[in-house]
Amino acid sequence: MFDLDGVLIDSEQVWNEVREELARERGGRWSDRATRDMMGMSSPEWSRYMHEVVDVPDPPEEINREVVARMLRRYADGPPWISEAFDTVRRLAARWPLALASSSNRELIDAVLRAGGIAELFRATVSSEEVPRGKPAPDVYLEAARRLGVPPERCAAIEDSHNGIRSAKAAGMRCIAIPNPHFPPGDALDEADVVVPDLASLTPAMIEG
């Protein structure tokens, strides 16, 4: 099970820049706390947060549409792929069925995987907007396991953020953490089963436990 933002693409700061830009344009009250709070939230959750907490006056559904449109424009020349993403996905897909469990919107997930030519390597992809709750709730990981037809306890999740790590562990999965250098996961890192510096460091033994 791969997370997307921060694991395969170096995009957490892009999300942050786009949402902060919109908040300031609309007269909202942006803070550093907003960045951490929204990491892992589903699109219905973070768009409500921006409306209710950041005080962006637009309705949540409009905030969501505008942020996604700006993200797609930022990806127009190609997503910011993390080094070794392609090699790691292909290497692991040759051994295990893969799924992607992401907080990104469905259209962003599909656009990124198409751009990288790796969509066919994932047997299941789930956006947290397709489940009741975003990360750190386990819903997106449990749904990904369901679509794969694999018990959660037989799955390993690769995560980078505090809410992502906690989501995977709440789902009962093994969790391999690759700490995000832009937004470190803090004490949630202690909950991961394995911590590695980058995708290239992943080994089958780490995944199998």
The predicted-structure confidence for 122-159, as pLDDT tens digits, reads as follows 999 999 999 999 999 999 999 999 999 999 999 999 99
Pairwise pLDDT comparison (183 vs 3), residue with the higher score: 3
* CB proximity list for 63: less than 8 A, separation 6 or greater: 22, 47, 50, 51, 56
Sequence spans of domains, the chain: 12-74, 85-208
Contacts 24+ apart (CB under 8 A), 45-52: 45/133, 45/134, 46/19, 46/134, 50/19, 50/22, 50/23
pLDDT at 148: 97
How does pLDDT run across 24-56, given as a tens digit for each residue?
Answer: 999 999 998 898 889 889 999 999 999 999 999
Q: Which two tokens stand for residue 110?
A: 């599909």
CATH assignment of 12-74, among 3.40.50, 1.10.150, 1.10.40, 2.30.30: 1.10.150
Domain 85-208 bears CATH identifier 3.40.50.1000: yes
Tell me the one-letter amino acid at 33: R
Contacts 24+ apart (CB under 8 A), 57-60: 57/26, 57/27, 57/28, 58/26
pLDDT at 40: 85
Fold matches, 12-74 and 85-208: no
Nearest to 124, CA basis, from 108, 105, 142: 142
DSSP state of 20: H
How does pLDDT run across 67-110, given as a tens digit for each residue?
Answer: 999 999 999 999 999 999 999 999 999 999 999 999 999 999 99
The SS3 assignment for 16 reads: helix
pLDDT at 32: 85
